[in-house]
Amino acid sequence: MKFRTEIKAEPSARKISHGEALFLMGSCFAEHIGLKLKEAGFDVLSNPFGISYNPASIGEIIKRLMDKRGISADELFENRGFWHAYDFHGSYSAAEKDRALQSMQKQFELGSSYLRKARHLLITFGTSQVFRLRDSGKVVNNCHKMPAAVFERSMLSLEEMQSQWLALLDQYFGMNRSVHVVLTVSPVRYLGDGAAANTRSKARLIELAHRLTERYEQLSYFPAYEIFMDDLRDYRFYDKSLVHPSEMGIEYVWEKFSACFFTKETREIANKLGALSKSLRHRPLHPESKAHRAFQKKLYDEIEEIKKRHPAIRFPAEPWH
């Protein structure tokens, strides 16, 4: 008897290899996959402007990176003692305007560089629901706790999302002809407006992704949303919020992602480095003990040996010294 519907992602013809630059943008689900890729030794940049949820903001950020339209002082505004920009996450805000501007410009330059050299661009759409500035109509990436009266809420239409992304991808493929783009829809549900609105929002994103993949041979679709909704149809695969994936759920999708986009050899290396990453994160009870020092030396020797055999890997994700 079968007790679940397993979603099988067809192996991609375009594989992801160590040494190839990956650029990830989108919701917190993109952050989870980005961290897994970093732990597995890949060259990754994830969300240089911070987490982005809607296709309009993701597209606008990619557009300004392509056009090299850096952040200007005029885009910053002050609220509750901090300087913000609507395209950037609050983690780049600061009490001093110059400091915030410098931080954002640094991220812009990093993102612009990666976008041009990326061999794989992974985009995770989170929601079609957006906040627009009433005075300009601009869709904001972050509201930064500004008064609700500043914004107008709406849901992006399929037509406006498709129009924006067709123009965007035409420009990007003209600039970066060898890039492979992977589209996915976040399994995280946005229930602030109710389950029906969330379903409508996700349906538009899924249709957008499929229309784009049918248009361009450089695009692939990875069914992260479908895996959670049908394969992992159980709240044990979510954290206590009941909307965000749990560690076990993320691990399962990562296994599916690896099987889809990695060769057998790349998977073996990635799995080994992932296990080493967990060991490096371990916090011992007695860090100065001989046993722990011997354990550390064994880890570092193993890492150096892998890096000698595979010089293209980026590992560890964080310095160990």
168-182: average pLDDT: 97
Q: Which residue would you say has higher pLDDT here, 122 or 312?
A: 122
Q: Give me Rg for the CA atoms of the chain.
A: 21
Residue 9 has pLDDT above 60, yes or no: yes
Q: What whole-number percentage of the chain has pLDDT above 70?
A: 98
Q: What is the pLDDT of residue 320?
A: 44
Which sequence spans correspond to the domains of the chain? 21-262, 263-321
Model pLDDT for residues 211-264, shown as the tens digit of each residue: 999 999 999 999 999 999 999 888 888 888 878 888 899 999 999 999 999 999
Model pLDDT for residues 110-129, shown as the tens digit of each residue: 999 999 999 999 999 999 99
Of the candidate CATH numbers 3.30.450.20, 3.40.50.1110, 3.90.420.10, 3.40.1190.20, the domain formed by 21-262 belongs to: 3.40.50.1110
CB 150 within 8 A of CB 133: yes
- DSSP per-residue codes, 221-249: E--HHHIIIIIT-SGGGB-TTSSSBPHHH
Tell me if residue 125 falls in helix, strand or coil: strand
> pTM to 2 decimals?
0.91
CA dist., res. 273 & res. 308, Å (int): 14
Model pLDDT for residues 17-28, shown as the tens digit of each residue: 999 999 999 988
3-26: average pLDDT: 91
End-to-end CA gap in the chain: 52
